[in-house]
Amino acid sequence: NSTLVEVAVCLEKVLKLEKDLEKNQTDVSDLLDDDTYEALAEDYVIAFRAISAMEVNLKKLRKAFNGQTEQPTGHNTGCADVKLPKLELLTFSGDPFEWLTFHDLFTASIHNNTSL
């Protein structure tokens, strides 16, 4: 399901943003005087809450999509011809500006997919 893959990619990006924000806040806080730090602290809290909310919403979406795509599991020993669902993969066009998007989608749909 391409929508599930897109949600997974977005979630990975949000988690990276969260880590980057935490690191940047720590790095910057060491360089600022107290007054400047206090002025920027509220912006940091707002950004962190927004990222956390995105993370929660994306996890809910992922769970909802996983629930829609899960099939009941069972073993049928009489069935010799099993057809797996087709996994549609995007192909890389060669455009360097599209590489990151392609790489993220591939990583989420193939590399990090434990069900394959």
pLDDT band at 110; cut points 50, 70, 90: confident
**Is residue 42 assigned to a domain?**
yes
Please check the confidence at residue 104 and state whether its pLDDT lies above 50: yes
Domain count, the chain: 1
**Is residue 22 assigned to a domain?**
yes
Please check the confidence at residue 88 and state whether its pLDDT lies above 70: no
**Is residue 116 assigned to a domain?**
no
**Is residue 48 assigned to a domain?**
yes
pLDDT band at 31; cut points 50, 70, 90: confident
Reference 4, options 116, 74, 109; nearest CA is 109
**What domain range is 53 assigned to?**
2-72+80-111
* pTM greater than 0.75 (yes/no): no
Please check the confidence at residue 15 and state whether its pLDDT lies above 80: yes
H/E element, 101:
helix 99-106
90: left (phi > 0), else alpha (psi -120 to 50), else beta?
beta
